[in-house]
Amino acid sequence: MLKPEANELLTRVGPGTRMGELLRRYWHPVAATVQLDDEPVRSMKLLGESLVLFRDRQGRIGLIGDRCAHRAMHLRWGIPEAEGLRCPYHGWMYDATGQCVETPLEGAGSRLARKVKIDGYPVQEMGGLVWAYLGPDPLPLLPRWDIFVMGGAYRQILGTVLDCNWLQCMENRLDTMHGIYLHGNFFQYILERGGRKGDALSHLQGLDWQTRTAVQRANRPHAEQLLFERYEYGIDKHVVMDTGRVDQRPPMVFPYAIGHAGGGFRQTWQIGVPMDDTHTLHLSYYAYVPHPNVEVPKQDRIGYADHPLFDENGKPILDYVLAQDMIGWWAQGDITDRTKEKLGQTDTGIIMYRRLLMEQLDILAEGGDPMNVFRDPEKNVYLTMPESTRKKAGKGLSDGSYRQLYHEGYYIDDADRYCPDLDVILELSRQNHVAGGP
């Protein structure tokens, strides 16, 4: 368990908090670029700050405070123009840095505009995402992780806003054993509740407990040892099963991502961006990389879709892996009370991650750059995980200890089902298989 002050330290991300100051040293993905095509002015929160993301008529993207300095009109309703975003109330206009450039009703000779500035933050585009930096100068480099910049890939982005603190999402990524029950037994139960009793291991439900356990053990190996290791960019994790097989799990990339980008056809990053203390923007970033002999369709823009948490009746959607993860996060409450938790031996990764956070907080307090803050352009051309880590990450869910509990097909049964270009993905998968790809 944690002491109350430690729980507060790790979960609070607003301005002036220690964790907020740590996270302000990083670039954060805040939207898909394509979202600004459909809605050029968007209200958002990041690290406890209320902001407006916009694209002006020249295509420049800005991230500024959400209130006009004149009379506090919400700039969500602003009008994008060639030189910035104009407040609809009295016409004050702000450029992408938050500088007021026009106060039209004050008269031609007024110098008021040059004295007015609201918050404004740097943004960059990469991989179909808009990235924002809320920290101090000098700006670090936007990390060019391989999945966002590599060629020969067809990309899709899914997102949703979760009503819970960011740390709950992240600790799940260091909990390697939850899959056996959350994506195994619970998955099976959800299928049965939906009338899909012919799927997976439903024949076990009619057996007595001892027999069922024995059959499950034969079908799904159990963990003998959990292994967590620090590597250059975060924490590597894998499980030694009782069969002797080493079951690799996606490595954690500090501060709040995991990467399945290990050389398979479906490469994935999952990212949990802290919006404020009780809301997290979760992004699933997919890159489908077929065999070199398969032509990848040209993408003029990388598609984005919201993936729903609830069905039309208001009930949670739980029949795919990511949705099961998400209920494991938000069902803990908005901020988990870690003073009451009882950790066991399977929670080694969570403990290691908390210690890593504390370590990086101390590094920052001493004036250093925390993990994965990059400043050398030569090292930032194409960031990829070490070879040993990439091989582990490539296995991912496809042969994990609960893989056989998927009931139809990999792409239909995970969050991919909501990808806007699912037909393209399925066809790429078919061609990749024919070509002998991964």
User: Cβ(9)–Cβ(110) under 8 Å?
Assistant: no
For 77-102, the pLDDT digits (tens) are 999 999 999 999 999 999 999 999 99
pLDDT (0 to 100) of residue 223? 61
Length of the chain: 438
Arithmetic mean of pLDDT over the chain: 88
> Mean per-residue pLDDT for 355-366?
99
pLDDT at 260: 74
Bin 385: left if φ > 0, else alpha if -120 < ψ < 50, else beta: beta
Residue 263 clears pLDDT 90, i.e. is over it: no
State how far the alpha carbon of 410 is from the alpha carbons of 31, 200, 291, 343, 416, in Å: 26, 14, 18, 32, 9
Residue 316: DSSP 8-state: B
Buried b / exposed e over 199-219, threshold 16 CB at 10 Å, is: bbbeebeeeeeeeeeeebeee
How far is CA 338 from each of CA 4, 320, 335, rounded to the nearest angstrom?
8, 27, 9
**Residues whose CB is less than 8 angstroms from the CB of residue 310 and which lie 6 or more positions away in sequence, other chains included:** 316, 317
Residue recorded with tokens 């959990």: 226
- The CATH homologous superfamily to which domain 31-133 belongs is Rieske [2Fe-2S] iron-sulphur domain (2.102.10.10)
The per-residue pLDDT for 388 is 64
pTM of the entire predicted model: 0.91
Look at residue 416 in the predicted model and tell me its pLDDT.
86
Helix (H, G, I), strand (E, B) or coil at 410: helix
Nearest one of 48, 37, 49 to 125, comparing CA atoms: 37
Region for residue 174 given its phi and psi (left: phi exceeds 0; alpha: psi -120 to 50; beta: otherwise): alpha
Pair 235, 353: CB distance under 8 Å: yes
Residue 413, Cα to own-chain centre: how many angstroms? 19
Tokens of 111: 């110098």
Determine the pLDDT at residue 207. 36
Please determine, for residue 214, whether its predicted confidence score (pLDDT) is greater than 50: no
Q: Write down the domain spans for the chain.
A: 31-133, 146-434
| Amino acid 241: pLDDT | 66
Residue whose tokens read 């880590």: 389
pLDDT on residue 21 = 99
Q: Which DSSP symbol is given to 233? A: T
Domains 31-133 and 146-434 share a fold: no
- Summarize pLDDT for 283-298 with one digit per residue, the tens: 999 999 999 999 999 9
User: Does residue 208 surpass a pLDDT of 70?
Assistant: no
Residue 218 pLDDT exceeds 80? no
**Topology at the third CATH level for domain 146-434:** Naphthalene 1,2-dioxygenase Alpha Subunit; Chain A, domain 1 (3.90.380)
DSSP symbols for 130-180: EEEE-SPSSPPB---BHHHH-SS-EEEEEEEEESS-HHHHHHHHT-TTHHH
